Structure 1
Amino acid sequence: MTQLSVIVYGRDVQGLLGPCLDSVAGQLPPDAELVTAAVGEFALEAAQGRGGTVVTLPDGTGDAAARAAGAERASGTWLWFVHAKDRLPAGAPRALLDRLAEVGDAAEQGRVDVVVADHVRSTWRTTGASGADAGRLARVGRRDLPAADVPDLLRVRPLLGNRALRAAFWHEHRAELTAADASAAAPVAEMFTARAALVLAERIACLEHVIVEARELRPESLPPVTAEQRYGFVAAYEELHRLMELREAPVRPRALLYDLMATETMRIVAREPMPEEVAREFFHRASAAARRLRPEGHQRPAGAEGVRRRLLEEDAYPRYRAFQSANRKRRAARTAVRAGRKQVGAKVRDLHYRRALREPIDPQLAVFSAYWDRGVACSPAAIAAELAERAPHIRPVWVVSSAAEPLLPPGTEHVVPGTRRYWEVLARAAYLVNNVNFPNAVVKRPDAVHLQTHHGTPLKKMGLDQFDYPTASRGLDFDALLARVDKWDYSVSANSHSTRMWEHAYPSRYVSLDHGYPRNDVYYRAGAAEIRAVRDRLGIAPGRRAVLYAPTHRDYEAAWTPRLDLAALAERLGDDTVLLVRGHYFYGGAASPLAGLRRSGRVIDVSAYDPVEELALASDALVTDYSSIMFDYANLDRPIITFADDWETYARTRGVYFDLMAEPPGHVARTQEELTELLASDAWCDEASAKVRDRFRRRFCEFDDGHAAERVVRRVFLGEPEEALPPVVPVESRTPAPTPEEATR
């Protein structure tokens, strides 16, 4: 007989369902089963191959409906609802099963309906923080008691993941347990069900063991809470009080529930962003509930909390806001004194910028930047070029550093960072396009559009995912990062992998544009003449093989040192091969270590050559390590060799999203000897490398088909709906640019 059904439910939010299922399936005892209520296509994909029963639910299905669907398919005596974003610590299923076996044998005076356990809490920046629940659970110990005797358990964090419900109890009371589902936001509905289970249970047992790691998602990454969902919070507490009245609960649990309601509603008013009319109505409804449900003789707490409670019960919203404002002013005054000295220099700039922000926005002005103002490059450049064709009424202005000004194409309208015109342009632009981020001081105007194009597919950990890698995140201000991310309206993606990783690493409310990277359009549009022209500029004679070597930056190295003996490699490959060597742009200011190589024509330093897409078009093959160039280059369907002499060190210090050694784009060389042998023989372009490259292309070149810039421009700048855009051409139906050999025919 199945003792426990673990019901994992919900969407694959921010790519967390896979780790959740792995944490369950990897330690599921024989007397337990896994039921996954998968909402949407991504969740179904994550659930496949991980065992158990999968219930397929359409996108848009709410958490409450997913829980119910999973429970219907469960066969266990006990149900354990685990949200798709959470994880089970090692040993949690076994510990819970052991406790369930105990309560099944020990409940002589009545049936135990709920077992409450401990949890740890993780956020987008912290991991495994414990709370105050352990002490409450310890006071109950191994006893199982009537619900009325353990009212303090109502204070245990109201999650479904930290408690198990007897299946018969769930089915008997399902209507009462889910009474708040229709009117409240998902967390409120879960709170209601978790606490309603304690109210309705005949007896309750505890487990002093952490059985779930509850992950809190960043609020800015979730859909805004509607007014009706706000009001549903008050309604949920009113329904909990009604259930207590029906059960004739004693005064103490009712008083405790009342205190929870008052404290939590006041916290929402104080901390949650709401329109003024919604906040006022929420306060009014909470006040009505507080007056109606206050137990007879109940005493308010002392101090500021008591003042807040009195104002709530009196429905004194204006006085509450005045009280809140006075407290904020006192705190702000103290903060201002500390920060005053730092703000003197910024005030002049801010004054001018603020004046510009009061001017009307210019609907025909678009500001572009790439690689921290290095010039016209990457996807922003491809989008600007497409704009000139499809929306010539929009005027592009580039942000370019003074050092990069001489390299600009003639006639490029631009501004230099920090100048007066720079701040004027940023203040009035209707569109801001960047492949990194604009400075922290840039204000997100409500009617301006921020388009984040990114500059590669992530292999290495990015954004908040760097939190656990101090070598990579040294000096990174995560709060400032999140503030920049919150300004994004759109995030461009080249493949589903990137979409999920951006959602996870940069949680906010932007819209993901699964349109492909505009900079990669050239890999399907360039013709033989363009390829011959690039090779001529580089001095590569027809018939010579050109190998592009483009390694990435390493956080544990202060400067770039080639990991290959390039002179020896060039000598071994002979005159028929030329090495195009490109150092990472992070080292742009350093002296090139290639300068000392004898100019034999076998090695060309292209570190300063832009755009890099032209180098890819001119080459016959790519050698890289962990650079994102591999994902872009795969569009050309030309050989890629991964030189991974320090993969373990890189993966450990930088953090990676998948094992490149298990899923490479072609052959892997761990030593220079192996690399030399591959390039000196025909292995570099053999059938085996073509097969793994095909799998790699299908996964990581998913949306790149030569029409990415068109889709972005039509969607963002021209406002066309998603369904009106050109559909993505399947990988097998695409024709990449000709190879250098084909270009000479």
Structure 2
Amino acid sequence: MPRFSIIVPVFKVQGFLRECLDSVLGQSYADFEVIAVDDRSPDGCGAILDEYAERDPRMRVLHLPENVGLGRARNAGLPHATGDYLLFLDSDDTLTPGALRAIADRLEETRDPDVLVFDYARSYWWGGTRRNALAQVLADATGTFTAAERPEILDLLMVVWNKTYRRDYVTDRGFSFPPGYYEDTPWTFPALLSAGRIAALDRICLLYRQRRQGNILSTTSRKHFDIHDQYERVFAYVDAHPELNRWRPYLHRKMGEHCLDVLAKPDRLPASAKAEFFRRTAELFRRHRTREPVPAALRVLEGGYTRYRALQRTSAAGRALGLRAGRVRRAAAGRVGRGWSWAHEHRPLDPNLAVYSAFSHSGVLGDPAAIHHAARDLAPHIRAVWVVHPEEVEHLPPDIEYVLPGSPAYRRVTARATYFVNNVNWPGSLAKRPGSVHVHTHQGTPLKYMGTDLRGKPGARHGLDVPGMLRRADRWDYSLVANRHSELVWDRAYPCHFASLRTGSPRNDVLVNAKPGDGAAFRLRHGIPEDHTVVLYAPTRRDHVRGGHTEPFDPARFAEDLGEGHTLVVRLHPSLADGPARGMGLAELDRRGVLVDATDEPHVEEVMLASDALVTDYSALMFDYANLDRPIVVHTGDWGAYRASRGTYVDITANAPGQVSRSYRELAWLFTSGCWQDADAAALRAAFRARYCEFDDGGAARRVVRTLMLGEPDTAVSIPAPTAGDHDVAAST
């Protein structure tokens, strides 16, 4: 008996079917059967199914003699299922890699619940991917529960395919699919409301294809009237199960919201059918009304269609008026702001005011934070104000003075400040006043193309206004560099009138001055044993991949292959923190203790200090990490594609900071053999440090403050004689 029976109804999807089947049959977890139901598809789907079944004995094909529709096609597959659990996969959707393993592990962990709800992401026809907006509901749901204990589980998309069901539970309850457009509704509500034990999996296990055309729920048709019959079936189920009576008010509200949503969509119902649909909805709403007060948004169903249309027109007019009023207010505010700024910009600069920002107003971080802390010590008379977004305020240290972008307080301090410190460009609206000092710290030593060098890389500069970026860079007075390589790159990539300061990178002072135990707080916070070897894996984003994320190897496998006494810590590129990349398994692996997800750690320096080795691909983090003089392994499986799409200043495979792997097999071998930390690795690291950490001596932040804020003589670090290879930029471009 297999663990899973995967039922796949198939109709007119020949262009997507192979991708769907490959996503199932290629899963690392193999204990499953596939029951593919050919719903009398008129295209080549039947032949494709037979081809796959001939190759893989886990697959069985049922050819129905007539077309019966999605729900009844699923029903046709149910009697043939022998697995412990049922999954229903639509034939144009796909499972994500490792999905079945994650589901199986979660079922075992929660001791075989009746229903397991997992996460999904919408996959758009143009290549974009967007995670379920309510993913946090799954993240918050620990252990097992009932719908009554966690009613928010019902707020998730009520479809059959984002869940797996214990087959005995389905059989005992006699669940089946009715015909119709909205056949999921009378399955999912009864299945969740009756379940004694529900579990959740905070992992994207399915990609829900958003087709440009062909989605039956997005077609204009009278078939959408089917929604009324399906909710009648839900209420009939409740009638037959009195223990569920408490759910009537909820279902009554849900039904009203769902029907009004269908009515409001411009592409669902023919114009001639909308009045009838409203009347049918209102009748259903009255018939199943409870003693609970009707929510304000649904009171429209207590009146007639004419009133509903009047309210819709009023609402639309109000929105349009609000938009116009908003534009007027913004224009007026802009005029007032410009007048206000003009007045303040003619007042003298405050020589004791410095404004800081980091990572587009994300908090007290990076190089600006290091300079800020040094200025507090060396120049306490200089008032420091940080620009931060509202959502970051709660994370600020209590002694930080801050302003919100665009606020009156922001305009006041930016109009009068002498010092501006940032690791990204200030907004174009910020005018540079004569006498102000703009310090640009950058975000690391450049490996990939930047600035004007991106002109020949249209994919990498997609959405990037290079001329506008240079206009903002024209405000720089000083550019901080940690090595001559960076100095050459910034001079070339940003042809502006700034001076390069060979100060070193202030954010790296904490790495250069590291002491034993500096990373202990991170280890303690994440439950990492003191005696474990911590391997930090920090991949960068890919410009040539939609969404920016690629997974060159399975991090769970790598964590396992590292063996006892090791902990794998993963930190994704910050631009991927809020995307679907973490939902593809990283968050779930962290929850299960397989690895540690450090993507949300605000201070990357602390993560580096807590680790014993770094594995990366092309992340600039390697240049900072080299200051720790700890092993670095560079994984370059897609080096050719990365270099062609983004462009690089350095051939990191030839000038690596340590051992290089080109496949997962090589990567695993480097750690099992010990070569990751052998003499060859140490020699490569020493040469790398000499070249790229040459100005990092642990005093960069204090040097910036003394030189630029206190006006002391130039305190730049001594420059060693040039060595071979100092012309990487010219050689590689």
Structure 1, unmatched stretches of 5+, are 1-339, 732-745
C-alpha change, 1:730 and 1:571, in structure 2 (3 Å) is: farther
2:566 is the alignment partner of 1:577: yes
1:373 to 352, 361, 380: 361
Q: Tell me, yes or no, if structure 1 residue 508 matches structure 2 residue 496.
A: yes
Q: CA shift at 1:606, angstroms? A: 0.3
Extract unaligned runs of 5+ from structure 2: 1-327, 723-733
Q: Does the Cα contact within 8 Å between 2:519 and 2:607 map onto a contact in 1?
A: no
Alignment-derived partner of residue 663 in structure 1: 655
Structure 2 counterpart of 1:530: 518
Partner of 1:473, secondary structure, is coil
Counterparts of residues 412-431 of structure 1 (less than 5 Å): 412-431=400-419
2:589 is paired with a residue whose SS is coil
- The equivalent residue for 2:627 is 635
Are the counterparts in 2 of residues 546 and 578 from structure 1 also a CA contact under 8 Å? Answer: yes
Give the Cα–Cα distance (whole angstroms) in 2 for the partners of residues 660 and 553 of structure 1.
16
Distance in 2 between residues matched to 1:544 and 1:341, nearest whole Å? 58
1:513-546 deviation line (CA, Å, top 9, x unaligned): 0110000000122322423333222322111010
Match of 1:320 in 2: none
Contact 2:363 2:388 in 1 (8 A): yes
- Higher mean Cα deviation, 672-681 or 639-648? 672-681
SS in 1 for 2:386: strand
Q: 1:384 and 2:376 equivalent?
A: no
Contact 2:514–2:628 (8 Å) recurs in 1: no
Which stretch shows the higher mean deviation, 445-454 or 584-593? 584-593
Q: How much does 1:607 deviate?
A: 0.1
Shift of 1:600: 4.3
Q: Does 1:680 align with 2:672?
A: yes
Partner of 1:265: none
CA contact (8 A) 2:626 2:688 kept: yes
1:712 aligns with 2:704: yes
Q: Deviations over 1:261-293 (max 9, x none)?
A: xxxxxxxxxxxxxxxxxxxxxxxxxxxxxxxxx
Counting aligned pairs with the same residue, the percent is 47
**CA distance in structure 2 between the aligned counterparts of 1:730 and 1:505, rounded to whole angstroms:** 25
SS at 1:471's partner residue?
coil
Aligned to 1:621: 613
Q: Distance in 1 between matches of 2:700 and 2:437?
A: 18
Task: Report the AA paired with residue 427 of structure 2.
Answer: P
Contact 2:445 2:486 in 1 (8 A): yes
Per the alignment, residue 484 of structure 1 pairs with 472
CA contact (8 A) 1:705 1:729 kept: no
Give the Cα separation in 2 of the matches to 1:544 and 1:638. Answer: 15
Q: Which of 594-603 and 607-616 deviates more?
A: 594-603
* Offset at residue 575 of structure 1 (A): 3.0
1:608 corresponds in structure 2 to 600
Residues 714 and 725, structure 1, Cα contact 8 Å, conserved in 2: no
C-alpha distance after superposition, 1:675-713 (max 9, x if no partner): 111122211101111111111111100100101112111
Comparing 600-609 with 453-462, greater Cα deviation is found at 600-609
Output the amino acid matched with 2:515. Answer: G
Q: Distance in 2 between matches of 1:586 and 1:400?
A: 18
Match of 1:472 among 440, 460, 465: 460
Offset from partner CA, 1:708-732 (integer Å, 9 cap, x none): 112111111111222x55647999x
TM-superposed CA distance for 1:349, in Å, is 3.0
Superposed CA deviations along residues 616-645 of structure 1, whole A, max 9, x for unmatched, are 111000001111000000011111011111
What is the identity, as a one-letter code, of the residue corresponding to 1:619? Answer: S
Equivalent of residue 445 in structure 1, options 426, 429, 433: 433
How far is the alpha carbon of 1:613 from its aligned partner?
A: 0.6
* Distance in 1 separating the partners of 2:693 and 2:686: 10
- 2:352 is aligned, of 364, 368, 371, to 364
Paired position in structure 1 for 2:263: none
- How does 1:200-599 map onto structure 2 within 5 Å? 346-557=334-545, 558-591=547-580, 592-593=582-583, 594-597=586-589, 599=591
Partner in structure 2 of residue 248 of structure 1 = none
Q: CA deviation at 1:455?
A: 0.7
3-state DSSP of counterpart to 2:355? strand
Is contact 1:577-1:602 (8 Å) kept? no
User: In structure 2, what is the Cα distance between the partners aligned to 1:611 and 1:730?
Assistant: 34
C-alpha spacing 1:345/1:464, structure 2 compared with 1 (3 Å): farther
Give the aligned residue type for 2:704.
V
Count residues with an aligned counterpart.
Answer: 393
Q: Per-residue displacement from partner, 1:348-374 (whole Å, max 9, x unpaired)?
A: 432332222122211111000000011
Structure 1 distance, partners of 2:628, 2:662, is: 24
How many Å separate the matches in 1 of 2:338 and 2:665?
58
Distance 2:392 2:674 in 1: 42
SS at match of 1:403: helix
Aligned partner of residue 485 in structure 2, secondary structure:
helix
1:704 alignment partner AA: D
Q: 1:729 to 1:411 in 2, by over 3 A?
A: farther
Secondary structure of 2:391 counterpart: coil
CA RMSD, 1 decimal:
2.3
Report the Cα distance in structure 2 between the residues aligned to 1:729 and 1:368, rounded to whole angstroms.
Answer: 32
Q: CA deviation at 1:399?
A: 0.7
Mapped contact 1:711–1:726 kept (Cα < 8 A): no
User: What is the Cα deviation at residue 398 of structure 1?
Assistant: 0.6
Q: How far apart in 2 are the matches of 1:663 and 1:463?
A: 23
| Matched residue, 2:255 | none
Offset from partner CA, 1:30-81 (integer Å, 9 cap, x none) = xxxxxxxxxxxxxxxxxxxxxxxxxxxxxxxxxxxxxxxxxxxxxxxxxxxx
Separation in structure 2 between the aligned mates of residue 610 and residue 443 of structure 1, nearest angstrom: 30
Change (3 A) 1:469 1:344: farther
TM-score in terms of structure 2 length? 0.52
Q: What is the CA distance between 1:598 and its match in structure 2?
A: 6.3
| 1:87-133 deviation digits (Å, cap 9, x = unpaired) | xxxxxxxxxxxxxxxxxxxxxxxxxxxxxxxxxxxxxxxxxxxxxxx
Task: Report the Cα offset of residue 345 of structure 1.
Answer: 6.6
